[in-house]
Structure 1
Amino acid sequence: TVFSGSEISEFEVEVLGVLKNARAKGDLILVRVSGGPLEKTGVIAGMSGSPIYINGKLIGALAFAWTFSKEPIAGVTPISEMLKVFSSQPKESNLSLNSSPQEEVMVTALKDYPPLTLRPIQTPLMLAGFDERMISKMEEKLGRFGLVPVQSGGSTIDEDKDVQLAPGSAIGVQLIKGDLDASAIGTLTYLKGNKVLAFGHPMFLAGTTSLPLTSAYIHTILSSQEISFKLGSATKVVGRINEDRRGGITGEVGSFAQLIPLQVTINSAKQGRLEYNFEVINNKFLSPSLMEWAVESSILATEGFWGDSTLRLKFEISLKDYPPISLEDTSSGPLSLFSSLQKLSGTIDTLLNNEFKEVKIKKVFLQVSSEEKRQTATIEGLRLNKTKVKPGDLVKVMVIIKPFESEYVIKSVELKVPENTPEGKIIIKVSDALSDEEAEKSRAPFKFKAKNLKQLIKLLEREVPNTQIIVKMVLPRAGAAISGEELPLLPSSVLDIMRSSGEAGQGKVTDETNLVETRIKTPWVISKKTLILPLMVEGGIGNR
């Protein structure tokens, strides 16, 4: 293994026995390790994959250990099991950061292990450039896979020199590269031609995958009562990992993973315009969270605030074979950063995990403007310039707004009563974007159910910014929403046919009909609230 720099060092093992069926249909070789710093440190996180030889023959890889153990005793994954990973057939992964750990996989349930349970050696995830406040958030998501986020740094020119990979070399599996770096550090077990085998246990148990493989440089060993770990840095990308299974990870030198470019431009009142560039692994389960963490860390590093603030985000997701998706969001108040970034990661997650077709994201652009001031407001009142109208009339709607620590503001719009509006009562409804979306999903849920990827993209772009106020003229009579589209003022005969139709999945009759809709743009995040006022239509096309 490597204890320092990139030099491969030998250490000694004493075979204590074989643990039969230590895992389902899997044995482990029990060894005591010694030599180098191991008497002081015990088994070291980052040693996963260290090849173990007896009389010059490879028997397996160091892969398991007990935390808090006073003895440097470890478990070795037999090479016979690891070699099966070479012949693994491509298979879809059911990896999910939000899913429950799989029962048969020890690595996905580390936090549930009592202190003296034999478990996969933890894998240090070296973080270069990340804000220290990100550590706990990343650990919460990645800790279940045995990854331990550790603040480190990038490599220097001397450390970045070409290293010839060999059994025992330090390697990295890179999740993020560029102005920030996140790389898991382990050890190469076996090299055959351009194929590599490492770790001796899974990284994510992702099955067939595509992750950048790097050489790595070890700065030092940090001792700990729980488990010591290697402090290192990823150096050069040399290949890619293409299988991640119980027996370890395997990949190819000279074959490279396709990554998603992410560009973040921050317009800071403190530091002016700054640009960050990253590349993130293309993985439907990991990419959304990795992007969120990278952007959040960039903003925290640039602005340095953690209290009342306002963030205005505009992002564009460039897709292969489809038009780009452009969205915006504003957050304001304490810790406002999180809700804005969740919109970005949520959109990426929806695209990558859609039920219709695989989506290829070409690039993600993000523009951020920030200020250390709370920009929120509430809807306090609603007025109309008349209480009775005729079809074709204009009605003036006045919305009274109370910004945070500021005077009242009145915003006005005019709505035209449609010519075919029936006689009787209609309603003027004023809402913030979130309240309106919730009401619409209840009133006409089929408007929000996509039938194909094109409709899904359209739905994502339809989301109203939370700085806008939605003003509607509503008719309290039945209407319809079909294939995501509103159909106002349908004849009763058509609605009766829709009600009696046995066809499912195409549309639904709604309790009320939106006649007219407009939006009021504001500089504030509008708090959740809905106000309504009745309006009488006289001389319409008949009683309802």
Structure 2
Amino acid sequence: MLARPIHRRLRGNKQTLAGVALGTVAIVASTLAAPTTAQSAPDPACPPAYPIADLARDQLVHGLTVSAGTTPDPFTGKVLGVLNDGIAPGLDMILVRLTSPEIRRVGGIWAGMSGSPVYADDGSLIGAVSYGLAFGPSRVAGVTPAADMQALLDNAPSSATAQAALRKAEGADHVALPDRTADRIVDMGAATTAEADAGLDRLPIPFGISGMGSAKRMRQAADALDLDGVRLYRTGAVSADAPATQIVAGGNLGATVSYGDLTAGGVGTATAVCGDEVIAWGHPLFWSGPTTLNMHGADAIYIQEDPTLFPFKVANLTGPVGTITDDRLAGLRGVIGDPPESAEITSHAESTEGRSRDGTTHVSLQDAVPEIGVFALLANLDVVYDGIRGGSSRLRMTVEGERANGDLFEFSVVDRYASESDITFETIFDSWERLYRVAQNQFEDVTITDVSFRALLDQDYREYQISKLRLRKGGHWVTLERRQRLSVNPGQLLRLRAVLSRVGETGRDRTVGLAVQVPRRTVGARGALEVRGGADVRSSLRAGSFPELLAKIQGAPRNDEVLDYLSLRKDGRGIRSVGSTAFGDVVGGSFGVRLRVVR
């Protein structure tokens, strides 16, 4: 058993996948000038940015987004105004009011519309839909300016000043509307006073997780991944060889942490496709800066109405088509081609009831390998065990990877688990702890390349507690009392029997034989002998190097061991010894006696 209590292990210190919680930003509306006319038709896939200074109030706009399938549908609208530094210092927000048959049907813009391109009449790109009114659905949208999004491209047309502003910006999840702007939105019937006063929020990203068979499992996965600012829903799994869909401006664009049995990622909209580069969403997913997310297309099923929050897009991700390389304040940048290198998580699960299954998941973010790895295992265990119920399990985990100097490493651990109520969930905790310790070790950067699990599930709940301790003395077995004082001799071999009682049952005790050697030259020493079940041993994984950490992980006490701890003290000097005996089922509890070494 490892160091953290079970109920805290998935919530310990770790780099989270959450979006950053940010403060409210006060905004001042800018004065709008008259629109200008373009001289030539731009490339529709990668149009030039329309100058913000040339936008005019009530200027007509149009755009593209997907409400069903993969083909973008048009929407129209008009400009309401510009909020100077509305998203962050140096990053303005354009306000527009949009309409389309689908926008009218669901009551406003929706989660998943992030990145939908908004164009001027001349075809140039004004920006991407990215914010919406915080209080219920509305047709008012906040738009991230195109020039700031294009600054993410390798051949960015934006100025160095704009790029510097993006690098130093402190972004906003929430934007407060100035009073005059809010009043104008209310006067034109685009929102109620309460809605306008609530300001704008970054549009949530519909974030799908596959493989979680119940609402309880979805909550557990979301808690472990520490997801924030997303609209969680159950999605279908995406395999490595799943058919892909083309990324087009206004089309669906997905970004995943993993795909396979446990597919986990969000769906938004591509804003522009410039050669093999893509810009999308108009806001970040995790705001991690440089990243290695998988880029996908998606097939939208429908837009789900929600009269209290945002309507949201329900979609199936399609096969990977490239890599998301940047997760920035102004949006995502992706490159069409090969997906990023990933850790492969494989699992073989079988039950004593005759079911078995193999599963595979690919994880492209190293920081997410511990969480995604164990929940991919959980998805497979749940399918095979087919019920949230008690039982016992045996699990082997093998981890392979590469150290900072290029050397390869590998280790394996085997352990047993038992739970009266949810054995599949209980089985994953120690594996998370071990993977986390490796991935986030303090000694060197390592890359986990492969994690494989083999699990056997049994509906028979078997867990034991140490209830008695017996000592062989004078040819007889003597039952000891807890904290009893014993006089022993230096060099004496203590023959013991730990009596193990099965949890929840009587009359099914078992015994484990132990042999503890009292060290020589310890006359006058005092101390204690404690016998513990491995499930209740808190083992420290403190280490001075990465190889030592791996050795401690492999050598940590198992849940199915009985351990004996002898500790003596003489003349200010401590003497300790530890022994272990395999039992075969989970053992908890402890039994201790006090010792005095005499001649």
Q: TM-score interval w.r.t. the shorter chain?
A: 0.7 to 0.9
Letter paired with 1:19: L
Structure 2 matches for 1:379-394, cutoff 5 A? 379-386=466-473, 390-394=489-493
Structure 2 matches for 1:70-469, cutoff 5 A? 70-86=137-153, 104-107=170-173, 116-132=198-214, 133-140=216-223, 144-154=227-237, 163-225=245-307, 226-284=309-367, 286-320=368-402, 321-329=407-415, 330-386=417-473, 390-404=489-503, 405-406=505-506, 407-422=508-523, 424-425=525-526, 427-433=528-534, 435-437=536-538, 448-469=541-562
- How far did residue 30 of structure 1 move? 0.7
Letter paired with 2:228: F
Measure the CA separation in 1 of the matches of 2:497 and 2:174: 56
Partner of 2:575: 513
**Residues 255/156 of structure 1: CA separation in 2 closer, same or farther (3 Å cut):** closer
Measure the CA separation in 2 of the matches of 1:200 and 1:38: 19
**Residues 527/155 of structure 1: CA separation in 2 closer, same or farther (3 Å cut):** closer
Measure the CA separation in 1 of the matches of 2:154 and 2:355: 53
Q: Is the partner of 1:523 in helix, strand or coil?
A: coil
Q: Which residue of 458, 472, 476 maps to 2:569?
A: 476
Identify unmatched segments of 5+ residues in structure 1: 90-102, 442-447, 479-491, 493-510, 539-544
Letter paired with 1:243: D
Measure the CA separation in 1 of the matches of 2:534 and 2:281: 49
Identify unmatched segments of 5+ residues in structure 2: 1-64, 157-168, 176-194, 474-485
Q: Which residue of 116, 120, 140 maps to 1:54?
A: 120
Measure the CA separation in 2 of the matches of 1:533 and 1:338: 38
Q: Is the partner of 1:85 in helix, strand or coil?
A: coil
**2:487 touches 2:597 (CA, 8 Å); kept in 1?**
yes
**1:305 touches 1:372 (CA, 8 Å); kept in 2?**
no
Q: Is the partner of 1:37 in helix, strand or coil?
A: helix
Letter paired with 1:430: V
Q: Is the partner of 2:286 in helix, strand or coil?
A: coil
Q: Is the partner of 1:3 in helix, strand or coil?
A: coil
Measure the CA separation in 2 of the matches of 1:104 and 1:143: 21
TM-score (norm 2): 0.74
Measure the CA separation in 2 of the matches of 1:20 and 1:62: 17
**Residues 524/143 of structure 1: CA separation in 2 closer, same or farther (3 Å cut):** closer
Deviations 1:317-373 (A, max 9, x none): 112234322223323222344343122122222211111111111210112121223
- How far did residue 390 of structure 1 move? 4.5
TM-score (norm 1): 0.81
**2:489 touches 2:523 (CA, 8 Å); kept in 1?**
no
Q: Is the partner of 1:145 in helix, strand or coil?
A: coil
Measure the CA separation in 2 of the matches of 1:393 and 1:401: 25
CA RMSD after TM alignment: 3.0
Letter paired with 1:335: D
Q: Is the partner of 1:19 in helix, strand or coil?
A: strand
Measure the CA separation in 1 of the matches of 2:441 and 2:467: 39
My pick for the range that moved more, 256-265 or 466-475, is 466-475
Letter paired with 1:146: G
**Residues 391/323 of structure 1: CA separation in 2 closer, same or farther (3 Å cut):** farther
- How far did residue 213 of structure 1 move? 0.6
Measure the CA separation in 2 of the matches of 1:474 and 1:43: 68
Measure the CA separation in 2 of the matches of 1:450 and 1:461: 13
**Residues 12/240 of structure 1: CA separation in 2 closer, same or farther (3 Å cut):** same
**Residues 205/126 of structure 1: CA separation in 2 closer, same or farther (3 Å cut):** same
**Residues 162/412 of structure 1: CA separation in 2 closer, same or farther (3 Å cut):** closer
Measure the CA separation in 2 of the matches of 1:83 and 1:532: 72
Task: Pick the structure with more strand per residue.
Answer: 1
